């Protein structure tokens, strides 16, 4: 199968074809997801919570993301593979380049980093040096201590305007993809319409170009708090492959996320 590239995602944005993405942390699930046609996989620093059992993503290191990326790469097949730059691994553009290089060597096709316009210099440096970048705005879990919890972002007019301007600035700096997490769906639509790069939502309503879920949420494995936006696709199907198919189908037809998974 031909590898999925950023050009495919851009083409899908233009044609309105909505795509589904999942996190993956090791070979077997990566293989299963890719074999069912998931076009984008993310080695998320959510592994700090889902795999390592921490109560945030902050303890995750670049070594750990690189280790999981090398396992996922072996199973990812044609999927475009994103890997997260973890907390404080991109505090300066130089650090970002060094750490991104490790993730690219481990098999990532693109790195993702959390934050707004302050990252523009880092994004252009990475892009100039052949590292494609995905931005991440809204509820950025590495900032949980600044936000005072996992809270919906961009709810008031000022915060919404700042988020939109951050998104435009990151695109201008060279970001090729954007993740929007936990923002009101009207704001997600504004950002999606304003950007030429594809926007992947999580807890951002059904009008973004794609959706991403943490695999543990999509398969009902998550212990403790279940996010409002998540859906257990395995509960409806009883089979992991069918669950992945159902997720892909519901994203494509726009029935997931439904209003009850979205913030108004």
DSSP per-residue codes, 16-59:
T--EEEEE--SHHHHHHHHHTT--EEEE-TTHHHHTT--SSSTT
Q: Is 45 marked as a binding-site residue? A: yes
Minimum CB distance to ligand KIV smaller for 122 or for 142 = 142
82 phi/psi in degrees, rounded to 5: -100, 145
| Residue 40 CB, nearest approach to ligand KIV (Å) | 10
| Residue 156 CB, nearest approach to ligand KIV (Å) | 23
DSSP state of 229: T
Return d(Cα 146, Cα 119) in angstroms, integer. Answer: 17
Q: Is 193 marked as a binding-site residue? A: no
Minimum CB distance to ligand KIV smaller for 42 or for 248 = 42
Structure-derived torsion over alpha carbons of residues 9, 167, 201, 263, reported in degrees to the nearest 10 = -150
Return d(Cα 179, Cα 181) in angstroms, integer. Answer: 6
Interaction site with ligand KIV (CB under 6 A): 23, 42, 44-46, 84, 179, 181, 202, 212, 214
Cα–Cα nearest to 107, from 79, 131, 134, 74: 74
| Residue 157 CB, nearest approach to ligand KIV (Å) | 25
Q: Is 228 marked as a binding-site residue? A: no
DSSP state of 107: T
Q: Is 11 marked as a binding-site residue? A: no
| Residue 84 CB, nearest approach to ligand KIV (Å) | 5
Closest chain position to ligand KIV (CB):
44
Return d(Cα 42, Cα 24) in angstroms, integer. Answer: 6
Which residues pair with residue 23 across a beta bridge? 42
Minimum CB distance to ligand KIV smaller for 68 or for 102 = 68
Minimum CB distance to ligand KIV smaller for 84 or for 166 = 84
| Active-site residue, selected from the candidate residues 181, 236, 242, 253 | 181
Q: Is 46 marked as a binding-site residue? A: yes
Residue 181 appears among annotated catalytic residues: yes
The binding site for Mg(2+) comprises 45, 84, 114
The binding site comprises 45-46, 84, 112, 114
Which residues are tagged catalytic? 181
């Amino acid at each position: 199968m031909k590898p999925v590239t950023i050009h495919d995602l851009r083409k899908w944005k233009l044609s309105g074809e909505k795509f589904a993405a999942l996190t993956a942390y090791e070979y077997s699930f990566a293989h299963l997801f890719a074999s069912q046609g998931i076009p984008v996989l993310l080695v998320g620093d959510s592994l700090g919570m889902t795999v390592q059992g921490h109560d945030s993503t902050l303890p995750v290191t670049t070594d750990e993301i690189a280790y999981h990326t090398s396992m996922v790469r072996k199973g990812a097949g044609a999927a475009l593979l994103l890997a997260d730059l973890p907390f404080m691994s991109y505090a300066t553009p130089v650090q970002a380049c060094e750490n991104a290089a490790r993730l690219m060597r481990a098999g990532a096709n693109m790195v993702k980093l959390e934050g707004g316009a302050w990252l523009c210099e880092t994004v252009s440096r990475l892009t100039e040096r052949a590292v494609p970048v995905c931005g991440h705005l809204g509820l950025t879990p590495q900032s949980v201590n600044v936000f005072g919890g996992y809270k919906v972002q961009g709810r008031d007019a000022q915060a919404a305007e700042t988020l939109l301007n951050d998104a435009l600035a990151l695109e201008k700096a060279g970001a090729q993809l954007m993740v929007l997490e936990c923002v009101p769906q009207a704001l997600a639509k504004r950002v999606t319409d304003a950007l030429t790069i594809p926007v992947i939502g999580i807890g951002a309503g059904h009008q973004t170009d794609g959706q991403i879920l943490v695999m543990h949420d999509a398969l009902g494995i998550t212990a403790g708090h279940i996010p409002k936006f998540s859906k257990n696709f395995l509960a409806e199907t009883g089979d992991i492959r069918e669950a992945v198919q159902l997720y892909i189908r519901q994203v494509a037809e726009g029935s997931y996320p439904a209003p009850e998974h979205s913030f108004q």
